[in-house]
Amino acid sequence: MKIEGFSQSFIYEDEGLWEAKWPLPEAFKYVISYRTYLVIGIENDKNFMRSKRFDRSIYTIAKRYFSNWIGFHPSRCTYNAELSDRMQRIRKVSLWKFEKMFDEEI
C-alpha cells in the first residue's frame, strides 16, 4: 500500500488506480480518503482538510457503480486496529518528510 501525499490516504497497488487514465484516479481520491477514514477509525482520524460528508457521498456512489472493485473488499473498508496503527505510523513519517522538504533552504 502507498500513501497519497496531500490527502494522506492509502492506495493498494493491486487496485489499478496507478495505471488508470485521468480523470478516474482524480474522482477516486474522495473514495480513497473516506475508505482510509473507515479503516483508521473515527477517533484516530486527523481530518486532513477533507469533507467527510462529501467523501462519504462519493464513496457511496462509487460503491454502487463499481461494487466489484477490489478496493471495496471489507478487509479494506472496515476498522482494523493493527492496520490503523500501521497507517498512522506511515502518516507520521510522511508528514515529517513533507515538512522537512518545505523547511529545506532552496
Q: What local confidence, expressed as pLDDT, does residue 38 receive?
A: 93
State how far the Cα of 13 lies from the Cα of 10, in Å rounded to an integer. 10
Taking the complete model, does pTM exceed 0.85, yes or no? no
Q: What local confidence, expressed as pLDDT, does residue 58 receive?
A: 93
State how far the Cα of 96 lies from the Cα of 103, in Å rounded to an integer. 10
Strand (E) positions, the chain? Answer: 2-4, 9-11
Give the residues of the chain that fall short of pLDDT 50: none
State how far the Cα of 52 lies from the Cα of 82, in Å rounded to an integer. 23
* Residue carrying C-alpha cell 467523501: 55
- 68: cell is 466489484
